[in-house]
Structure 1
Amino acid sequence: MFKHTTLFHAALLSAVLYNMPAAMAQDASPKALGSAYTPVAAVSADQAQVVYYRLPVANAQAGAANVYVDREFQSALLPGGYTAFCVTPGQHSLGAYLNDAPNYNGKNTDVYSAQLSGGMTYFLRVGEGANTAPQAVARAQAESELGATRQQIHALSRASHVAACNYQAASAAPARASTFKDYSLSSDVLFAFGKSGYADISPSGRKAIRELVTQLRTSHPNLEQIEVIGHTDPIGKPAANHALGLKRAHTVRRLLVDGGLSAADIKVSSAAADDLVTQGCKGSRAEQVACHAPNRRVVVRVDLLP
């Protein structure tokens, strides 16, 4: 979704606003963090919404992660903090940077660009390592992690392209929306690009599926029906994408059965590239592969009993 762009010089803003002292990384007072996250509503077609968050992990680096939008300061995320904002659809630079002072590289170097579509909501997670590229996360996974965060309220936004969100009134959900729950697994966590076999699945993918089995047993003690749906990006021919999605779904099903779930209760299907969460990816093949990462996923859909 994100690509490195040509950089240009931008004036540095005040270090008081942009460089949070290390001690503030442990500050969970109401002055720094506000209300707990609640699921954001859809926005109008003339806006794109971004939810940027930082996990409250034990190994979080000290200090705040400065968030920049189009090279202008938007917020400073402490561990366990999130910010939600809207911009006009189109190309924007986004990033959250740790240890940003004194050069404020988030404004001047390593800027990452994204094409944001109107009416869409994008979930981005701060990376605690050296890689400052925003981590795009599927909504289901993001909101399970956002449950442990609170709104960041201690820093004043100076991002001129950020606007108040025009939220849409909630519409009646389809009848089936209340009958199932989706658990989305990033295909790039499960498999290398283009891979789908049982032997191809990564150690992190096997761990993610074991954790999902535990969660399913805890959250759904009367579990009776599961559908594993393989999704792909639009790169390649439709028939090949459909086959790839189905192979990945079969592999995940096998691992769910290995984890102790009943094989008779699990069916598989492929959505191929019919339900994209990221669109408009351009550039070289490598850039398109990176941009389409959120589309490559496997969804485990659980039927909920009445």
Structure 2
Amino acid sequence: MFKHTTIFHAALLSVALCSAPLAMAEEASPKAFGNQYSPVAPVSGGQAQVVYYRLPAANAQASGAHVYVDREFQASLLPGGYTAFCVTPGQHTLGAYLNDAPKYAGKNTDVYSAQLNGGMTYFLKVGEGGNAAPQAVSRSQAESELAATRQQVHALSRASHVVACDYQPMPAAATFKDYSLSGDVLFAFGKSGYADISTPGRKAISELIDQLRTEHANLEQIAVIGHTDPIGKADANHALGLKRAQTVRRLLLDGGLSASTIHVSSAGSREPVSGQCEGTRAEQVACYAADRRVVVRVDLLP
């Protein structure tokens, strides 16, 4: 993601412009930090968002790690601080430099280039070894670490390419979770009865029961939905999907799940996941394999 570029012609920062705000970076007063981190909202496709943070490590240097965006000062991160900002999509240089004062050479040396795409949020971590290269981390890892950080607010940004973030609504939390069982694993083609369940199919359902009990403290509402491919008549496909869902329900009951929590229905061939398949019947049967499935849907309790 990041490409290292050495800048041969360097200019020192003006003391009059930058030394005062950066000097404040060395002060770890309570006023240096704002709110505790909370998950950032997505941004529009016309922007890219960056969350740059520094772990509150016990062995971290007390001085600030100076963050530059396109060679201009954005923030000075003390241990346990983060900054979040937006830029237009495209190529940008990023870095966080320890021991950068008093010349602030990080603005012009060891610049790291990144292609930032529109609508994306990037999570970058400061390396405590003094290396300015951003450490790109996944959102899940970053947010588990960001929970212990606070917004860095004590130094003013001078990064002219940073723009106000055009935040979008947070996606709605899922109210259910789907577990999909392959119809071809459960049954032979066109079959649906309890006696028709294959040995691999029984094993898959047994494993699903164990997974449901592990992932959900309460299983109050479970929907079993049968799906078919579009081969054949719609009425026949609906009936086949319902019979397969009823068979899977019976096996879930055999596994000890409560009958009062499990309801069945059929989507028939109305909700395909495959594209339009062509060719001989055998080729179509193979092409539509993903459509033949039974979905076990578990309601997520608030």
Normalized against structure 1, the TM-score is what?
A: 0.55
Cα distance between partner residues in 2 of 1:118 and 1:99: 33
Confirm or deny: 8 A CA contact 1:36 1:147 kept in the other structure. yes
Confirm or deny: 8 A CA contact 2:66 2:75 kept in the other structure. yes
Q: Does 1:97 align with 2:88?
A: no
Distance 1:174 1:32, change over 3 A: same
Cα distance between partner residues in 2 of 1:149 and 1:123: 13
Q: Is the partner of 1:66 in helix, strand or coil?
A: strand
Deviation at 1:16, TM superposition (A): 1.9
Per-residue CA deviation, residues 55-101 of structure 1 (Å, 9 max, x unaligned), is 11100112111110000000111111111000000000001111101
Per-residue CA deviation, residues 108-141 of structure 1 (Å, 9 max, x unaligned), is 1111010000000000011111322111010000
Indicate the residue corresponding to 2:151 in structure 1.
151
**1:117-128 correspondence to structure 2 within 5 Å:** 117-128=117-128
Deviation at 1:20, TM superposition (A): 4.2
Report the number of matched residues. 184
Q: Is the partner of 2:159 in helix, strand or coil?
A: coil
Distance 1:99 1:6, change over 3 A: closer
Distance 1:147 1:88, change over 3 A: same
Distance 1:304 1:107, change over 3 A: farther
Cα distance between partner residues in 1 of 2:46 and 2:11: 27
Cα distance between partner residues in 2 of 1:130 and 1:159: 21
Q: What root-mean-square deviation, in Å, do the aligned CA atoms of Structure 1 and Structure 2 show?
A: 2.5
Per-residue CA deviation, residues 9-57 of structure 1 (Å, 9 max, x unaligned), is 34504222224464x2xx250x110110000000000000000001111
Indicate the residue corresponding to 1:18 in structure 2.
22
Distance 1:130 1:171, change over 3 A: closer
Indicate the residue corresponding to 1:65 in structure 2.
65
Radius of gyration: which is bigger? 2
Indicate the residue corresponding to 1:43 in structure 2.
43
Distance 1:44 1:154, change over 3 A: same
Per-residue CA deviation, residues 208-245 of structure 1 (Å, 9 max, x unaligned), is xxxxxxxxxxxxxx6359xxxxxxxxxxxxxxxxxxxx
Cα distance between partner residues in 2 of 1:34 and 1:156: 13
| Unpaired runs of at least 5, structure 1 | 181-221, 226-302
Q: Does 1:223 align with 2:214?
A: yes
Confirm or deny: 8 A CA contact 2:5 2:111 kept in the other structure. yes
Distance 1:88 1:81, change over 3 A: same
Cα distance between partner residues in 2 of 1:173 and 1:305: 10
Hey, which bits of structure 1, 4+ residues long, moved more than 2 A?
Answer: 8-11, 18-22, 170-176, 222-225, 303-306
Q: Is the partner of 1:223 in helix, strand or coil?
A: helix
Indicate the residue corresponding to 2:83 in structure 1.
83
Cα distance between partner residues in 2 of 1:3 and 1:156: 27
